[in-house]
Structure formats: structure tokens, C-alpha cells
Structure 1
């Protein structure tokens, strides 16, 4: 047994150490099969401004359609104004309005404040009196409250945050202005919350970060905890307590002790969120926020189903539409009808294993440290094997040293960054190794040899992927707080390396060289290419290649925009196959790789160049698994489809090539 085979055996044995951790992640993802649908209360309230729509009627329809949860924001005078509960008047404006009124003298001389109309509902009236101690005046039949802008901020003296309260009191006159009083925290509307609870809804409280009132907010939330409230959602661009790490950790601990979990909004960065996540051991539920598309309910339904099925989303935060795609304002009944239709259809189209209910955070994925070490050691062996194509031993040894440094760095510092760097290196090498490996096997004619080479490249890919996801495993990764870094590098570097390798092999193909002079000969190739005379035709080719590369790069990641025909194709494939394979894999990468393997048997020089676009297939499946918030089984299904369909399409390309090749040969002979 030679060194290479022995190293492969050791590497595979070490990779097997990752299997328990990967299976635990698999079970964690598949056991989490409950999702909910949330609508914010203030959007429901907007619907009831129409005279013919009652709140009770709307809540009943939403509940019957499938809505499980309603979210509430904390109250403030500004939000009550938005809900038409009161109106605000600046001092100077009101003076102008009542200048010639007989009650104009009732206005206060104090101008450091503002006026609000007295709410008709006693609940709001009592809240204003409790928090602001306003002065009441009357202008004709209208009762008004004057609120001093220098009043202590509501809740600033909350129990449990005394130090913060004292600091706030000392700075009141410097920091508290008209707008801050008007926006000040007034607690949560328990009257409306109780009404919603009576209809059987669960509810979610949104938390804002206002330094002076954070202590009161935490106390109110703890006091409100009940069976219908289990999860909190941060509002705005930062979590409560930010930027003070001590306060954030203290608030996180208090809320966790009270029995709360938290939502994280997909695609949204909220400052301080990682501090909360690490403090609470990632007891977070992934949430997807979306607005119903009234012109295409089917599109909104598909978006909802994909979020739950493919991205570990367990909460759909649904915004009621106010406009159609033409920016035309919708009537309240039109908005309600579109929302009800979505709520009814989402459960109908959701896979059977998912049910509406109360979602819970993922169970803890417990990966033993010995398993992580074993997988990182497997990575060292994989690096050594993958760098064989360079034919320089010192580079292969350098690769092992870098992997060893990252391993030691992680064990000493426990920094996730070390794992991310290691995972990125393995991902890039996996795509290169799986592609160039095909050239290491002497090309032979026949389907059997082609299939064997294809399977070996697949095996290399799976080995590298197992190492990558074995290293990047844990709740921080599947919840999205720690992510795979360097997606663009995975898409670009393998293709560049394979292209350089193909060019160098083309130039050196007929030369005999030792491993010691390969680098020297490669340098000569680059010098020769650099000194070539550039013609207009060269520039045209470079421009075309550059445009293709630019389009390819812009199509990567979540921001890429696909053409209309591809979107239609994707949707049809998803309907047919449960999970759609990636088009760049089964239509481009793998077919050209298979075709390249065949051509290499006849024309090795040109077959190698087909491996350049052929590398897209392998780098793309590596990228699929690097999306760590996607369930493992979804990535496996998607990859299996791509490999099979790509192979079959590759065979079709071979048949077409053989047909054309024979026709051309006949024409040449006839001529």
C-alpha cells in the first residue's frame, strides 16, 4: 500500500468522526417542524378604520384563516397619534388656531411642551395621567392636556435599573426634548392584548431600545409572561441595552430566566444581537418578514413555503398589503382578502411534516471537542492530497502547517473565526481537487471509465463537504449567527486555478519535466504570455470573457437576479421535485464536466479546457452545503438531483458531439 492510499484511509477514518455531529444536526433540523404566522396589530387596526369593518370580525376571520400570532409594539403618544387615539398640537400652532377664540386665555404661558387631545377611551386617559401628570385645559368643547417636555421620562425610575434612573434624572434637561417625550415608552396595551388573547391568539412583544426606559421595559415584559407569550422580537436597528455589553447580557439573562426565547429576522442586522445570542445559547427562532403580494398570492405562498422548508425559518412575519404592484392604494377589504387568502393557502402548500403552532428554538447540537479535532486532522490529510496537482512538496507541507495553525488557534482561543477560515480553505480545495482529479486518471474510451471518474470526483466532493460541515457545526451556524465566510472566493478561485492549470498543461504538454522544475517552467509560460503582442481580436475575446465572468459573479449569492425564463424553470422544477436543483450545476457545470471527460479521451489538450466551466458544478455543490442555515437533507436532495441530471445531460452532449464529429469527418473525406 502506497502513501497516497494509506493517507486516504486515515483521512476517511477521521472524517467518520464527524458523522455523529452531522447526524445530530440532521435530527435537530428535522425535529423542529412547527412554524407560526404573525401579523402586527397596528396593521390589523388600520383595516378597522373603515366603518364597515369591525375589529372582532377581522380577528375572527384571521384566526379562522390560520393566523396564530399577533405582535404588539410598546405604546407611546406618537403611536397613539398614528392610531387616531389622540392628536398633538405644538404650542405655537395652537396659539395661532385659537388666537381669536374666547378661551384663548386658557392656554398656558409655558412653551416648553405640547398639547394633546384627551382620549375618549378611559384606558389611554389614565395612562397619560399616570405617566405625565398633565395640566388639563379646555378650548370650547375640546379638552386638552399640556405635557411638559422637561418631565421625567416615563419609566426612568424603574426598579432593577436604579443606577440608570439616577443618571437619566441628572441628564433630563440636556437630553429630553419634545420628540423624545412624545415617543417615550408607555408600556404595552394590556387592554388590547387581553382582547386578542380572548380570540385564542398567541402574541409577541416587540422590544425597542430607549436607554432611559429599558429597565421599565424589562420589568413590564417579565410581568406580562404567560402561556400565550413565549418569544420576543427586537424592533429597530439594535437590541435593548445596546451598546452597553454589561446591560445587554444582564437583560438577556433576566429574560431567559423568565422563560423567553427570541426571534432573529432573516437578512436583517440588529446591533448587539450576537451578544444576546451567545448569552442565551442561541435560543433563537429564525423569522422571515414579507409583505403579501396582492397581485400574485401564489408567489407569496411559494416564498413562504420555501422559507420554512429550505432555510430553517420557523416564523413568518406577514405584513398586510396597502398597495398593489402598480402602487395603487388598496381598499381595506382588498387588503384583508389578500391576507386571508395567503393565510389559508400557506398550510395547504406546506409539506406534511410541518404544522402550525408554537415554534421552539432548535435543540442544542452537542459536538464533542474530540470530534472537531478529528475532523480538523482529516482536513490536514485532505489538504495534502488536494495539493498534489501542484507537484511541489513544500507547498503541500505548507498547506498542512496552515491547517495545523488554524486547528491550534481554535483550540487555544475558541474563536469561531479559526473554524471559518479552515472551512473556507477546505471548500476552495474541494472544488479544485474534484475537478482536476479527473485528469490524474488516464483517459480511456467507454462509459464505464467515464462513470468511474465521475463517481470518484463526487466522492472527493463529499469528503471535502463532510469535513467542512463537520467543522462548521453547532447552533450558532444553523441559526445564522455564525456563517460561512468567503462565498465569492469559492465561486471564483477554483475556476481561476483550473484555468491556469489548463493553460500551463497545454504549453508543457509535450515537454518532459520533473516536479522540481514545474514551477520554473510555469514561470516561463507566464512570461511568454505576458510578452505576447496584443491584437484587437484578443481585446474582444478578453471583453467577452470579462462580461461572462461579471455576469457569473453577479449571479452568485442571494442578491443575484435570474432571467425570467430561469425563474419559470426553477418554479416548475420545484413543483416536480420538492427541491429544485441549481441550474448552474445540472445545466452547465456537470454536463460540461462529463463532456470534458469524454473529450479528454480523444483530445486531452482541449478536454482540459472544458473542465474550467465543468468546475462550476463542484464549486456550486460546495457552496450549497456552505449555506449552513439550510437543512442538510435539503442540500443532499438538491445535490443528488444535480449530479444525476447533470450526468444525463452530459451524455446527451456527448451524443450530439459524436453525431456532429462523424458528419464533419464524412464531409472532410468527401471533400
Structure 2
């Protein structure tokens, strides 16, 4: 015990050294976030415009008018896909027929043994650019083509069934690319892996795109261009080399159900010239065309605006991809589209673009983060490593103090082995351990401090409660610094790698702190603890216990359902969140400022007199775990997370003082009126 008591002091010094080493690492991440990647790009899907125009009286005029409106409302970029016969048809550059339709058109007998695709060029000036493009595409596929005309209008025959031919992709339409550039738009290309990879052709295509000002493309489909398999990376290497040569980067779409295959590998090959993209889908846009009252439509437009602002400020989004779809409204007997509502969300009253600019961002082509990483970080991370292991050992030592030194040595040895096997798993495991232990240790220290106050109940109770919350949060902040420094990599900021274990980070501190309160917070021998544990396990279960267990399980399920990126919230809560976001600029977490922190303050205040007040202190672990989890969202800027935690403490303190005031009023009223009632 003597050696372990000395060891625990040494472990605290290691934790302090780790904290000091992590601060400059966190500062360099702050520099990365604040000094680069501050341009935000709104991109409209050009194919969606074409599809909406196909339902209009004058399709080309509609597209032309919408391009002007898009520019006026702050959309500076257009997304162009690899061309298909279907898209060229939507652009009114060609008309496509099957063999059956062509025979009717030419008034000749239909040949049952032929099922080809007939193409007519609608513009004589576009044929010289489009015909070679189509011929080359189908030649590469081994499909024969030949010239054809009708009424002196030039065309061609593709010896492939029309349904299949319409699916084949080719280089983006050069006429559309030049037109959009002349209109003043930046161009973002949707690139797929549907065509056989050819180095020379890809080199020529990227060179052409670069001349048109293309700086980035978005992957269209499940695999990146050049991906064959996890083992065969030859084409992926060539694609990365070509992208570096032409200085073209990628955009990663957030919240995808499945990661696009080969994306992380291609991103690494282009030195992470990647920005995060938020997609406003056709389904999202369709909600703006439903049968709504004027007030309801205003609310939805405001919700879209809030969504864009939150994506940029809170999740490092630098590209917002806008989709739209025309819908047939049977009640109104009209073809509706959501474009006007989208414009209102962008720069209407309380629009997204002015609010984003007011937050310190500018509109323009999205730029990747210039990652700040000094060589001394490698040395600093060794101290962080030792400090994180020491923190974990200290936490476990609260349960088994005799093992403090052994736990630290075993932790260093085990984590060293993990480092050799897998550096990413090493960093995540250590960050998860430190992030879990910091709020657990903070609450256990708070419980111990409150127990000590029973013997010496002097001083201001409110002052004690407020200082205890501050000290507890500072201990929890140790976990924050360790997570930020251990996972300070651009891949986590871009969510190319994800910090796993958010549910553990939420639940483990609750379970560990509860176990400590039940069996380890009082001075007992191990035998007495075993007896108490056995007594708890063999207690008779009443109906009240069952009801309590069901309530706790339901609360736990709800708690987890709102955790992480996939968390769900009720419509009322979403409205409350929106109100806080728009009022404060940064929304504090509800479970911190409205529930956990105030209950913790009330518990610390009451701990002078009531032993059962420790249960309220124990409830504070939810808020402490939430404080750490705020920074576990590594795609959120450090400044935003810091403001969120400060707001949570400030408002939680005010509400906690309100709880104390209500308690005092109720108690004093009871003391005053209870004797009269009994009389």
C-alpha cells in the first residue's frame, strides 16, 4: 500500500504532464480549423435542372432563367455528371429512337431481327463535338456505330439496344461545361467508376477539366474511379497520381450508409485534398412542394436554412450539394418544383448564406484544410500516451487501490503491443479509455468530497456546490484533451476515419460511477463489499422495483436513441434546439444545462445535510460524460465545442441556483405550515 500510495502521486504527475503536452497539440488543431478551409461552396445539380425543365413549356428558357436566379441567390457552382444519351436528350441536343420507333419515323418496314439505337442531332453546330464523343465511348465498349440521317438531319446508329445504350457513360458534355463556365459558374464534376479505366483518356479528361477551372469532383456511385479491389490498387495509384498532377481534389459525402469503396485510399494518395459535403437530397427538397399553408412553408424554409448553417458551423461542411425534383400535385393540378423555396432558404429573410458569412466564412470554391502538424507532436504524444494510461490506472485504483502501480505498468506494456499491431486502434482505444475514465474519476472524486463534507459542514453551501461543479468539469476536461490530442489527424476531421465507441463513452461512466457509489464509496473491507453485493443481488424484488427497472430501461433506451450522429429527437425538441441555435449561435446540450448540471448543483448543496443527496451527485455523471462526448465529435470545430460546454455550465449553474431556491422555498414553507396542519 505504501508503494501504491507513492505510485498514485506519480501517476497524477504523469496525468498533469500529459495534459500540458496535449494543450499545444490541441492548439495546432485549432489553427488548422481557423486558418484554412474557410470557403463554402453551394453546388446545384445541373441534371436535376434538366429533368425539371423537361416538364416545362419552354425547357431551354427555363434552364436559362434558373441559372440567372441561382447566381443571384448565391449558388456559384454547378455539378455536371458524366454524359449519357439520356442526359444529352434532356439537354435537347439529340433525339433518341429505338429500331421500332425509327421504322415508324422513316415509314419503312420494321425489321424483327434488329434492336438498335438511332440518334438524331438536333443542332448542326453541336454534332461535331458530340458525335466523336459518342463514337469513342461505344467503340471502347466494342459496339459498332455508323452514320445515319433523316430529312437531311445528321444522326448515327448504335448497334445496341436503346435501354442499355442510354445507360452508358461518357465524358461530360463539353458544350454544357463551356456554357456553364461562360455563365460564370464554377464546375464540380460527378465522376463514376462505370467505364473501363484508361490512363491516357483519364489524363486527357482531367487536363480538359482543369482548363475549365474544375478543382474537385464528387464520386458518383459505390466505388471511386480506378477501384478494382482492396488488393488490386494499380489503377487507384494511377488515378491518385493524375489527380495530384492536375491538382484536383475530392468531396466526401457525409452520413452515407456505406462508404464508397476505395475512397479512403484515393484520399490518402492525393494527400487528403478533400472537403466534407452535405447533400440536400431530392426527398428533402420534395418536402417543400407538399400542400402547405404559407406559415408551414415558412417554417420548413427556416428549417432548411438552419440545417445549412449548422452543417457549416458545427460539422466542418464546406460544400452543400443542392438537389431538386419536379412533382405532380394532383390537388392543385400543377407541376411543382422547390427551386423558389430553396432560393428563399439561401438568401431570403434569415437565409443561410448571410448567416454563414456572418460567422466568418466566405462564399467560393471549397478548399481543403491545410493541416498544421509540427514534428514535436510525436514527442508530445508520448507524454499524452503515458498520461492517458496513468489516468486509466488511477480510475481503476479507486476500486482496487493496491493495484495502481501494476495496472499502470501492464497498461503501458499492453498499449505498446497494440501500437505495434495497429496504430489507429491504439489511438482510438487509448482515447476511449481516457474519455471514459475522466468523467468517471471526476464524479467519484465529487462523491468522496461530499462524504468528507459530512464531517466538516462549514462554509457557503452554494459556493461549495458551484466550485465542486467547476472542479468536476475540469477533471472531465482531462479526457477531452487526451481525445483531441490522441486523435489529432486530418482523417478524423474529415470523418474518413470515425471514432468508435460513443455509446460506451456515454454508458460506461454511469455504470462505473454507480458501482463505486454502491460498493466502494464507503470505507469497507473487501469481504464487507462482497457481503453487500450479495445482499443486493439476493434482495426480494417488489413490484415497485420492477416498475423502477422498466422506467430506468426506458430512460436508458431514450438516452441512447439521442446519442451520436444517428440520434433521434422529437419535433418539440427539434424546435427547442432550433430556438437555442438561432438565439445563442451555438446550442448547449439539453442534458447538460437543463438536467445534469442543475441536479448536480442541488445535490452538492444538499450533501451538507442529507446522505441520500449523493444520488443527485451521481446523476451528474450524465452531464460530465456529455461534456467529454462533445469533443469526441472530431468533425466539430474546437471553438464550437468549447462554447457549447461553457454555455452548458453557465445556464446549468443558473438553473441549479433556481433549483436551490425552489428547494428552500418548499422546505421553509413546509416547516412553517406543517405544524399548523398537524394541529
Partner of 2:73: 65
Instruction: Verify the 8 A CA contact 1:38 1:315 in the aligned structure 2.
Output: yes
Instruction: Verify the 8 A CA contact 1:117 1:142 in the aligned structure 2.
Output: no
Instruction: Verify the 8 A CA contact 1:469 1:625 in the aligned structure 2.
Output: yes
Asked if residue 524 in structure 1 is aligned to residue 531 in structure 2, the reply is yes
Alignment counterpart, residue 388 of structure 1, candidates 383, 397, 403:
397
Partner of 2:267: 277
In structure 2, how many angstroms separate the alpha carbons of the residues matched to 1:326 and 1:540? 50
CA offset at residue 661 of structure 1? Answer: 2.5
**Structure 1 segment 401-416 matched on structure 2, within 5 A:** 401-410=410-419, 412-413=420-421, 415-416=423-424
**Structure 1 segment 57-456 matched on structure 2, within 5 A:** 57-81=65-89, 83=91, 85-86=93-94, 88-89=96-97, 94=101, 98=104, 103-104=108-109, 107=111, 111=114, 113-121=115-123, 122=127, 123-132=129-138, 134-136=145-147, 145-149=156-160, 181-213=165-197, 215=199, 216-226=201-211, 228-242=213-227, 243=229, 244-268=232-256, 269-291=259-281, 292=285, 294=288, 295=297, 296-323=300-327, 331=335, 335-344=338-347, 345-350=351-356, 351-367=358-374, 368-394=377-403, 397-398=406-407, 401-410=410-419, 412-413=420-421, 415-441=423-449, 442-443=452-453, 444=457, 446-456=461-471
In structure 2, how many angstroms separate the alpha carbons of the residues matched to 1:404 and 1:16? 23
Partner of 1:578: 585
Partner of 2:478: 463
Q: Give the alignment's TM-score, normalised by structure 2.
A: 0.85
Partner of 1:157: none
SS at match of 2:79: strand
Instruction: Verify the 8 A CA contact 1:48 1:54 in the aligned structure 2.
Output: yes
CA offset at residue 135 of structure 1? Answer: 3.7
Stretches of structure 2 lacking an aligned partner (at least 5 in a row): 139-143, 289-296
Q: Render the CA deviation track for 1:566-596: whole Å, top value 9, x for unaligned.
A: 2222222212211010001101111111122
Asked if residue 562 in structure 1 is aligned to residue 541 in structure 2, the reply is no
In structure 2, how many angstroms separate the alpha carbons of the residues matched to 1:402 and 1:211? 51
Moved more, 185-194 or 568-577: 568-577
CA offset at residue 330 of structure 1? Answer: 6.9
In structure 1, how many angstroms separate the alpha carbons of the residues matched to 2:389 and 2:672? 53
In structure 1, how many angstroms separate the alpha carbons of the residues matched to 2:328 and 2:500? 37
CA offset at residue 559 of structure 1? Answer: 2.2
Cα 1:5–1:661 change in 2 (3 A) is farther
SS at match of 2:608: helix
Instruction: Verify the 8 A CA contact 1:498 1:611 in the aligned structure 2.
Output: no
Instruction: Verify the 8 A CA contact 2:243 2:270 in the aligned structure 1.
Output: no
Partner of 2:524: 513
In structure 1, how many angstroms separate the alpha carbons of the residues matched to 2:497 and 2:159? 46
Cα 1:281–1:396 change in 2 (3 A) is farther
Stretches of structure 1 lacking an aligned partner (at least 5 in a row): 150-176
Cα 1:498–1:246 change in 2 (3 A) is same
Supply the RMSD in Å over aligned alpha carbons: 3.0
CA offset at residue 28 of structure 1? Answer: 1.1
In structure 2, how many angstroms separate the alpha carbons of the residues matched to 1:523 and 1:471? 38
**Structure 1 segment 18-33 matched on structure 2, within 5 A:** 18-31=22-35, 32-33=37-38
Partner of 1:174: none
In structure 1, how many angstroms separate the alpha carbons of the residues matched to 2:117 and 2:332? 35
Q: Render the CA deviation track for 1:532-585: whole Å, top value 9, x for unaligned.
A: 233333222221221111111111122222223322222222122110100011
Partner of 1:489: 504
Q: Give the alignment's TM-score, normalised by structure 1.
A: 0.86
CA offset at residue 382 of structure 1? Answer: 1.8
Partner of 1:501: 516
Partner of 1:480: 495
Moved more, 234-243 or 635-644: 234-243
In structure 2, how many angstroms separate the alpha carbons of the residues matched to 1:29 and 1:330? 46
Q: Render the CA deviation track for 1:257-283: whole Å, top value 9, x for unaligned.
A: 221111111112211111112222222
Instruction: Verify the 8 A CA contact 1:47 1:336 in the aligned structure 2.
Output: no
In structure 1, how many angstroms separate the alpha carbons of the residues matched to 2:480 and 2:548? 35
